[in-house]
Amino acid sequence: MAESRKMKTEKGLALVPGANPLADGCNFAVEVPEDSRASLILYKKRSAKPYVEIPFTEENRTGNVYAMYIPDFNLKEYEYNFLINGKVYTDPCAYRILGRERFGAEVGTNPHKVRGGFLKKEVFDWENDKNPAIPYHEMILYKLHVRGYTKANRTITGTKGTFQALEEMIPYWKELDINTIELMPAYEFMESGTCKNSESEKMVSEKHTQGRVNFWGYMYGYYFAPKRSYCATDDPEKEFKTFIKKLHQAGIACIMEMYFPRECNPVTALRALQFWKLYYHVDGFHVLGEGVSAKLLMHDGVLSDTRLMFHDFDESQIRKKKKPEDKCIAQYNPGFLQDMRRFLKSDEDMVSAAAYHIRRNPNTYAVINYMACQDGFTMNDMVTYNYRHNEANQENNHDGSSYNYSWNCGVEGPSRRLQIRQMRERQIRNAFLMVLLSQGVPMIYGGDEFGNSQNGNNNAYCQDNQVGWIDWKALKKNESLFQFVKNAIAFRKEHPILHVPGEMYGVDYQTRGLPDVSLHGERAWYMNSENTSRLLGIMYCGAYAHRADGSEDASIYVAYNFHWEDRIFALPNLAGYRKWKKVIDTSAVKENGFLEQEQETYSKKLKVTPRTIVVLMAVEEEKKDASVAAL
């Protein structure tokens, strides 16, 4: 194995996993299976062979953890692995993974190629960095893949597909008014071997992924190390810290998505989240997988003010906050995607479900609403394809979801027919309003705001190419969609009644003359929930929310008509000289959905064209002179 060399060692600290500098030395700790033999392997930097093997002794053991301290240890000279029962084992708690930027099958022929590295002792200048502390009710969440997001962006001046490249996107996010970025797995993971099948959530065998890569990273990983192949420099720690610092300087928070499969120790998950929060200043986590305990994370003191997002948890285990605006827990909401897509494509019996999702906003936790994410069709493909087209994945088109709640508007795939293209554009505008006018946290999947397409591939987990990369040429082509999304985000932020901190009750509990939220339809104050109904009216009473200057918000009425015919909505009466003014109409192609100030007002009825969302706002009309009114 290695030459016999003597190094002074002492019993280490079992509570500190991985390799951690302590005083002038380094503490090495690793958990092993019961009755296992283990050694520490040290390599001189850039040396192909091990420098020394140091066996752990019984004196180093505490339970199933071996811990060893080496005094006077020069971190800059070494790299390391562990040897467990004769097999080379790269430390899952390593802060750096060294050996190559992208892993391959040839690693198996030389297990010493991949090694753990140490944290640098140099102090990083955070420049008084502070967490933007974006509350959920003000959050505009934007999810992206670090590599795929900028790999095909010609405007990037640095190395594409890296954290450094993402720094160049900050002005773009600011223009769109995004205040929270979510990163798909950005810690180290093996890009070859097993990977996650998004339909069955099973781990598929290596033989199914030969010649391809695990592009997304939903698998067991090295949870303490930023992904080296996502770095433009050879200093992942500094590059990732710089990215976070620049995000915070722009007022943008960062959420990391982390996947812990069943075989992962829940304590490892806890330690990983604590580490990224404390060492890298990450603001929150979207936690996936069966190897994590939601209760453990929700009740940890270090994470008590951290945004934690789960797909499922026991509501009774949430650590309660005094005010709804302080809540830290959120539920990713696939039910919103399924039901609202079905409502969008005019399925029967979806009105009640749509009304539930639009209003849903519990006091104790937030809900993350989205119409598209990496699993399934993009927003553009949702209105372009009825069927998945995953042939490029080399699994005979059997992978990915077989049903996407999509409607191709009459033609499968791209079409030059003006009528088809206009209907698709309207449906995308409708979908964005469904997300941005609902009370929960809106999540936009990166690229959807300008119609990015994956050519009908709804499971691009292995497509590290033009299919899985964002097509930035579409931004110029679909500039009008980008402007619509930008305006819709601004409209949501302008009206706090559209994103209140907690639950709306549907009653007038503040004696404002109207309930905080109410449901309507072809009759005012009555929602037709029969299976043949495809329309819904929702009114928000602006008096229940206040702008930054303390003034009451305007009341908002949203009319959803997903019939294929015109429908008439009966409007609720407004007190005094107020009338309803149309401000958004997704069928208004020339105006790109947002209407000019000089619009007619409505008081009794509103006609809405097929498959259209119309937004009305209550405005004051000038009081007419009595003598003029008499004439």
Residue 109, domain member (yes or no) = yes
For the chain, percent of residues with pLDDT exceeding 90: 86
> What are residue 122's DSSP bridge partners?
none
Confidence band of 320 (pLDDT split at 50, 70, 90): confident
Residue 629 confidence class, pLDDT cut points 50, 70, 90: very low
What span, in angstroms and rounded, lies between the C-alpha atoms of 255 and 153? 23
Give domain status of residue 128, yes or no.
no
pLDDT band, very low/low/confident/very high, at 211 (cuts 50, 70, 90): low
Vertex 325: Cα angle to 321 and 326 (nearest 5): 40
Is residue 149 located within the same domain as residue 249? yes
Q: Of 93, 65, 99, give the one whose Cα is nearest residue 79.
A: 99
Sheet containing strand 612-620, edge to edge, reads 517-520, 535-540, 556-561, 612-620, 578-585, 601-602
Q: What is the spatial distance between Cα 506 and Cα 284, in angstroms, rounded to a whole number?
A: 32
pLDDT tier for residue 624 given thresholds of 50, 70 and 90 = low
Do 304 and 443 lie in a common domain?
yes
Burial label, 619 (beta-carbon count in 10 A; 0-12, 13-18, 19+) = middle
**Pairing of β 612-620 and β 556-561:** antiparallel
**How many domains in the chain?**
3
CA proximity to 223, closest of 261, 195, 189, 179: 189
CATH of the domain at 69: 2.60.40.10
pLDDT at 383 over 90: yes
Q: Where are the beta strands (DSSP E) in 119-276?
A: 141-144, 180-183, 187-189, 195-196, 203-204, 221-226, 253-259
Residue 626 has pLDDT above 70, yes or no: no
Q: Based on the domain organization, do 292 and 438 belong to the same domain?
A: yes
Domain identity same for 181 and 268: yes
- Name the nearest CA neighbour of 515 among 359, 368, 322: 359
569, 535 Cβ separation under 8 angstroms: yes
User: Using CA atoms in the order 46, 52, 53, 59, what is the torsion angle rounded to 10 degrees?
Assistant: -120
The answer to whether 216 touches 374, Cβ cutoff 8 Å, is: yes
At 166, list the tokens: 């993402």
CA separation for the pair 209, 393 (Å, rounded): 9
Question: 111 falls in which pLDDT band (50, 70, 90)?
Answer: confident
Instruction: Identify the CA nearest to 485 among candidates 594, 599, 382, 409.
Output: 594
Which of 167, 132, 126 is CA-nearest to residue 254?
132
Which pLDDT value is given to residue 6? 79
Flag whether pLDDT at 102 surpasses 90: no
User: Is pLDDT above 80 for 543?
Assistant: yes
Same domain for 83 and 157? Answer: no
Q: Does residue 59 belong to any structural domain of this protein? A: yes
pLDDT recorded at residue 202: 35
Burial of 16 (0-12, 13-18, 19+ CB in 10 A): middle
* pLDDT of 610 above 90: yes
Residue 1 lies in a domain: no
Better-predicted residue by pLDDT, 14 or 212: 14
CB-side neighbour CA atoms (13 Å) of 419: 3
Q: What is the pLDDT of residue 112?
A: 85
Q: Report the distance separating Cα 567 and Cα 613, nearest Å.
A: 11
Contact present, 220 and 152 (Cβ < 8 Å): no
Range of the domain at 553: 506-630
Which one of 494, 526, 550 terminates a domain?
A: 494
Q: Are residues 53 and 150 in the same domain?
A: no
Q: Which amino acid is at 83?
A: L
Are 91 and 219 contained in the same domain?
no
The average confidence (pLDDT) of the chain is 92
Nearest to 577 by CA among 518, 622, 510, 525: 622
The reply to whether 487 and 516 lie within a common domain is no
pLDDT at residue 381 is higher than 50: yes
pLDDT of residue 4: 53
Residues 6+ apart with CB under 8 A from 473: none
Q: What is the pLDDT of residues 404-455, one digit of tens each?
A: 999 999 999 999 999 999 999 999 999 999 999 999 999 999 999 999 999 9
Please indicate, yes or no, if residue 53 is contained in any of the structural domains.
yes
Q: How many Å apart are CA 181 and CA 285, to the nearest integer?
A: 11
The reply to whether 125 falls in a domain is no
What's the Rg (C-alpha) of the chain?
28
Q: Which of 14, 252, 243 is nearest to 133 (CA)?
A: 252
Final residue of a domain: which of 494, 525, 548?
494
Q: How far apart are CA 347 and CA 357, in angstroms?
A: 16
76 lies in some domain: yes
Q: 3-state class of 546 per DSSP?
A: strand
Q: Which domain CATH number covers 363? A: 3.20.20.80
Cα–Cα dist 26/38, whole Å: 18
Going by pLDDT thresholds of 50, 70 and 90, the confidence category of residue 3 is low
Average pLDDT of the segment spanning 66-91: 95
- pLDDT reported for residue 384: 98
What DSSP element (H or E) covers 65?
strand 65-70
Residues 486 and 534 in one domain: no
Asked whether residue 166 falls in the same domain as residue 86, the answer is no
Domain for residue 126, yes or no? Answer: no
Which tens digit of pLDDT belongs to each residue from 193-204?
A: 543 333 323 333
Which residue is associated with the tokens 């030059």? 416
> What letter does residue 371 receive in the DSSP assignment?
S
Residues 33 and 110 in one domain: yes
| Of residues 100 and 335, more confidently modeled | 335
Is the per-residue pLDDT at 108 higher than 60? no
User: Cα 334–533–353 angle (5° rounding)?
Assistant: 20
504 in Cβ contact with 361 (< 8 Å): yes
The answer on pLDDT for 90 being more than 80 is yes
Same domain assignment for residues 513 and 490: no
pLDDT interval class at 46 (50, 70, 90): confident
| Helix (H/G/I), strand (E/B), else coil: 171 | helix
Indicate whether 115 pLDDT > 70: yes
- Three-state DSSP at 378 gives coil
Q: Pick the residue with more confidence: 339 or 631?
A: 339
| Alpha-carbon gap, residue 351 to 467, rounded angstroms | 35
The answer to whether 92 touches 219, Cβ cutoff 8 Å, is no
Contact (Cβ atoms closer than 8 angstroms) between residue 474 and residue 450: yes
User: Which amino acid is residue 12, in one-letter code?
Assistant: G
Residue 631 has pLDDT above 70, yes or no: no
Q: By the 8 A CB rule, do 569 and 540 touch?
A: no
CATH number at residue 560: 2.60.40.1180
Between 71-85, 173-187, 193-207, 523-537, the lowest mean confidence (pLDDT) is in 193-207
Q: How many whole angstroms separate alpha carbon 427 and alpha carbon 197?
A: 29
Residue with the larger pLDDT of the pair 179 and 196: 179
**Residue whose C-alpha is closest to residue 444's, from 408, 482, 406:** 482
